[in-house]
């Protein structure tokens, strides 16, 4: 995924990127995580900087290795987190991410998960909350190589628009070259349930508090079970408060 020259809109993975901001960060430092057979790892990344940030992370998982990556993409300028994962035999990758954007910000999460060998599992949960004129993008490709039978790949992608002027791009993609695999993706873009909001308000919660409570629950799905669930949740709530 690391490209030597500054990408253009023709590069699918950069189609919705804020290229002007990206230029100031280019070239991106490559981050590489390699887990040997049977190893386990976990990491939580919180992007809450004032300035633009872009990260390019490559993860290689050996046989039976397992990695749990969580991302909160909630800075106040352009924010991009790209992850490329290669799964060995029987490896497991769990990805939980939330992004929160307002103003005219662009945030994006781009993943490519390659099931290179049999019996690996991957699971991605991405939740976006978008206000104002913000754009939030998820591009997620799951590739099942020839011979990677017994693959189980799942993507659950949801975005919530707080204003009609915000934009969500969601593109889960499957490329399957093997038989006997199980891949599922669900994708939805919506608005906060008006009935639910009225119900909470009728009990005494001011509108902003009611929204916050519902959005907190929406985002929580990305962080449930994380080793640093508490830190991620608190940071997400702080970012939410900035949006409401």
Q: Which is nearer to other proteins, 3 or 189 (CB)?
A: 189
Show the site string, 153-192: x = touches other proteins by CB under 8 A, - = not. Answer: ----------------------------------------
**Which sign, positive or negative, has the C-alpha torsion 199, 201, 205, 208?**
positive
Select from 99, 102, 54, 110 the least CA-distant residue to 76: 102
Strand-strand pairing, 40-47 and 66-73: parallel
Q: Which is nearer to other proteins, 167 or 201 (CB)?
A: 201
Q: Which is nearer to other proteins, 177 or 198 (CB)?
A: 198
Number of amino acids touching other proteins (CB under 8 A): 23
Site for other proteins in 204-223 (CB under 8 A): 204-207, 209-210, 213-214, 216-218, 220-221
SS3 155: strand
Out of 187, 196, 229, 237, point to the residue binding other proteins (CB under 8 A): 196
What's the closest the beta carbon of residue 21 comes to other proteins, in angstroms? 33
Tokens of 76: 């106040």
What's the closest the beta carbon of residue 189 comes to other proteins, in angstroms? 17
Tokens of 57: 């992370």
What's the closest the beta carbon of residue 146 comes to other proteins, in angstroms? 40
How many Å apart are CA 157 and CA 98, to the nearest integer?
A: 10
Q: What residues contact 178, with CB distance under 8 A and at least 6 apart?
A: 144, 145, 146, 147, 148, 149, 151
Asked whether position 4 contacts other proteins by CB under 8 A, the answer is no
């Amino acid at each position: 995924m690391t490209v030597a020259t500054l990408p253009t809109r023709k590069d699918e993975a950069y189609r919705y990127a804020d290229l002007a901001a990206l230029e100031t960060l280019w070239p991106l430092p490559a981050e590489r995580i390699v887990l040997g057979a049977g190893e386990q790892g976990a990491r939580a990344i919180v992007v809450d900087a004032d300035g633009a940030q872009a990260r390019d992370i490559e993860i290689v998982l050996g046989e039976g290795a397992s990695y749990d990556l969580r991302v909160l993409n909630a800075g106040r300028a352009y924010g991009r987190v790209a992850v490329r994962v290669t799964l060995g035999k029987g490896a497991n990758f769990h990805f939980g991410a939330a992004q929160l954007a307002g103003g005219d910000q662009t945030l994006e999460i781009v993943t490519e998960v390659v099931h290179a060998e049999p019996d690996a599992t991957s699971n991605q949960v991405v939740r976006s909350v978008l206000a104002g004129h913000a754009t939030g993008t998820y591009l997620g490709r799951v590739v099942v190589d020839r011979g990677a039978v017994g693959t189980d790949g799942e993507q659950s992608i949801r975005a919530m628009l707080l204003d009609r002027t915000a934009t969500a791009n969601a593109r889960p993609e499957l490329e399957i070259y093997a038989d006997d695999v199980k891949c599922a993706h669900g994708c939805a873009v919506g608005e906060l349930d008006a009935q639910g909001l009225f119900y909470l308000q009728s009990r005494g919660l001011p509108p902003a508090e009611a929204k916050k409570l519902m959005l907190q629950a929406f985002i929580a799905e990305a962080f449930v079970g994380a080793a640093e669930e508490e830190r991620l949740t608190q940071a997400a709530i702080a970012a939410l408060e900035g949006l409401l």
